[in-house]
């Protein structure tokens, strides 16, 4: 290393990268040790549960970060996922597994496209549009599901994307997210808009087109999350009174943790995954401690 500066630089970069990785992994490790000490119901056997519960919020987080990076406030992710899952379930009745995939992922993209068109033409804040879309999609989901507001898929079809196969789908989603977020001009333009939209316009970036793409690309990941969700539970129920908003907060908190960790470790795939693991670990830890939901939410908020 002393004889070759390039080798020395690579060695230093490797140790720096390794050091930052250890720091990021320390957060869930410390939480796991703390809950394991505090209660006997929390141990290595809970890691599988924590992992499986983190996959869907992680993929939702992949979709949400695009609009968040652009400075948009989109609360329709949960409603999008529920409606896309219902579309996948309905198409699966006619086209089998292919219908499940096309309906879920295609439905997520189409809903994202619809929201982007509304945002472009109505020219009102993204928060207002997302709340209106939540109300509309929830009503559409009820009418789509029929009298029971509940759609079930056959067990053998649900196995296609359920655990442990959900790990494969999540890994593919993570790879696609990494490519889009780190290897495309779209992402760099998106981050420029989020930093200063006026400067982005002066640089010749078509800000409205990029913002619309953030909804559409996000819709793709919401569709993947819809596929994982209906495969995980084997069914999907329509929700009313804006209850789909509750789906948004866990992935949003995981993304915020990931964006904070970016100051230490610049890999949002790992950071979002760690963020969701942390949130899921806290949920399961408080359940193991026997705490009520109200108290658990207080600690989560803190």
pLDDT tens-place string over residues 38-75: 887 777 778 888 888 899 999 999 999 999 988 888 89
Cross-strand partners of 236: 151
CA separation, residue 261 to residues 33, 91, 255, 270, 273 (Å): 21, 40, 10, 10, 11
Please answer whether residues 23 and 270 qualify as being in contact, where contact means their C-beta atoms are separated by less than 8 angstroms. no
pLDDT tens-place string over residues 87-140: 999 999 899 999 999 999 999 999 999 999 999 999 889 999 999 999 999 888
Alpha helices in 123-206 (DSSP H): 126-145, 155-158, 165-183, 185-195, 197-202
Predicted confidence at residue 8, as pLDDT, reads: 58
- 69 SS3 class: helix
Q: What is the pTM of this model?
A: 0.90
Q: Answer whether residue 210 shows pLDDT above 90.
A: yes
Task: Give the residue among 116, 107, 114, 105 at the shortest CA–CA distance from 213.
Answer: 116
Please answer whether residues 241 and 142 qualify as being in contact, where contact means their C-beta atoms are separated by less than 8 angstroms. no
């Amino acid at each position: 290393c002393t004889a070759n500066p390039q080798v020395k630089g690579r060695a230093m970069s490797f140790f720096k990268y390794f050091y930052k990785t250890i720091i990021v992994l320390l957060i869930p490790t410390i939480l796991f040790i703390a809950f394991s000490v505090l209660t006997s119901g929390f141990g290595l056997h809970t890691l599988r549960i924590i992992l499986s519960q983190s996959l869907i919020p992680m993929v939702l987080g992949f979709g949400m970060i695009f609009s968040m990076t652009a400075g948009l406030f989109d609360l329709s992710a949960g409603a999008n996922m529920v409606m896309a899952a219902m579309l996948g379930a309905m198409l699966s009745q006619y086209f089998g597994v292919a219908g499940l995939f096309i309906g879920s992922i295609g439905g997520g993209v189409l809903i994202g496209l619809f929201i982007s068109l509304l945002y472009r033409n109505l020219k009102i804040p993204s928060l207002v549009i997302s709340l209106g879309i939540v109300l509309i999609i929830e009503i559409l989901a009820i009418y789509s599901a029929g009298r029971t507001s509940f759609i079930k898929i056959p067990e053998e079809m649900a196995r296609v994307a359920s655990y442990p196969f959900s790990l494969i789908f999540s890994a593919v989603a993570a790879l696609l997210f990494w490519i889009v977020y780190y290897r495309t001009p779209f992402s760099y333009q998106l981050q420029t808009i989020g930093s200063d939209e006026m400067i982005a316009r002066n640089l010749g970036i078509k800000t409205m087109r990029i913002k619309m793409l953030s909804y559409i690309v996000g819709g793709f990941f919401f569709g993947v999350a819809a596929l994982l969700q209906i495969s995980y539970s084997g069914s999907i129920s329509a929700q009313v009174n804006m209850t789909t908003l509750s789906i948004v907060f866990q992935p949003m908190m995981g993304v915020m943790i990931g964006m904070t960790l970016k100051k230490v470790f610049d890999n949002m795939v790992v950071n979002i995954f760690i963020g969701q693991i942390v949130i899921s670990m806290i949920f399961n830890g408080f359940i193991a401690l026997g705490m009520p939901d109200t108290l658990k939410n207080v600690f989560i908020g803190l």
